[in-house]
């Protein structure tokens, strides 16, 4: 039996995997054949099932901070996460959330504005 060949294979269908697929599609102008692999049904990915939703420091004036978000992320990983990667993730997350909002990608969360 012959399988389908992909230019890129992404493991994980949470927000990070889906966002990676979108970015590859943009950069290749749709020319890349992208395969998504998930161990669960798409609507059961961790991003969809997260109790608190997707978090980012959107309102620092209300007491949230990059440091607190980094700490929560590292703690949530049982201290197994690469802390430099977590810091970069936390710094870029607000812009990614705004971009998704601009694209009108909304789940259960309210609009940012």
Each residue's pLDDT tens digit in the chain (113 positions)? 467 799 999 998 887 888 899 999 999 999 999 999 988 886 777 666 665 556 788 888 998 899 998 998 889 888 998 999 999 989 998 998 888 888 876 554 444 44
Which pLDDT score, from 0 to 100, does residue 110 have?
A: 43
Q: Give the integer Cα–Cα distance in Å for 12 and 14.
A: 6
C-alpha of 71 from chain center: 18
22: Cα within 13 Å, side-chain hemisphere: 12
Q: Residue ranges of the domains in the chain?
A: 1-49, 52-113
Q: Give the integer Cα–Cα distance in Å for 26 and 50.
A: 27
Could you tell me the end-to-end alpha-carbon distance of the chain, in angstroms, rounded to an integer? 51
Which pLDDT score, from 0 to 100, does residue 1 have?
A: 43
Phi and psi (nearest 5°) for 9? -120, 120
Contact predicate 86/74, CB 8 Å: yes
């Amino acid at each position: 039996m012959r399988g389908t060949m992909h230019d890129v294979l992404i493991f994980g269908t949470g927000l990070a995997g889906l966002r990676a697929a979108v970015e590859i599609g943009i950069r290749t102008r749709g020319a890349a054949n992208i395969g998504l692999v998930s161990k669960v049904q798409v609507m059961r990915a961790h991003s969809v099932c997260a109790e608190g939703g997707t978090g980012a420091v959107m309102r620092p004036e209300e007491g949230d901070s990059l440091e607190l978000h980094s700490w929560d992320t590292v703690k949530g990983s049982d201290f197994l996460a690469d802390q430099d990667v977590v810091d970069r993730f936390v710094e870029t997350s607000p812009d990614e959330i705004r971009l998704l909002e601009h694209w009108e990608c909304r789940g259960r969360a309210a609009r940012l504005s």
